A = this chain, B = another copy of it.
Amino acid sequence: MKQNLFQNLPDEIPEELFEEIESGKSFRLERIVSDGHKSSPGFWYDQPQQEWVILLQGAARIELDNENDHVELGPGDYLLIPAGRRHRVAWTTPDTKTVWLAIHFDK
């Protein structure tokens, strides 16, 4: 009945991997696995729900629209991306698989 977030990582991940773990009323929890992936140039996520995201393995850099600094993330780092706040993944480490949890919810 238990599962492990760091197991069942495919060897080859041609594209960033999104897997739903749980969902409910106005709520969705997903595991994201990146393997050196980043958002395409000029691509921005623009989502109607709040997104809380935590990086638990690997390393990444998120770019938020209208911010000068990118946000560097290492294991345990989390942030809230408010609904409608444009953002993109500027970089994930090529050295290991990066594992995230993302929660999409309504305020």
Interface residues of A (CB under 8 A from B): 1-7, 21-22, 24-27, 29, 50, 52, 54, 56, 71, 73, 75-80, 101, 103, 105-107
Contacts and interface: CB of A to CB of B under 8 A. Distances in A.
A24 B75 CA distance: 25
B76 A4 contact: yes
A2 B106 contact: no
Given A22-B52, A105-B22, A78 B1 contact: no
A2 B77 CA distance: 6
Stoichiometry, as copies per complex, reads: 2
Contacts of A107: 24-25
A51 to B, nearest CB: 10
Nearest to A22: B52
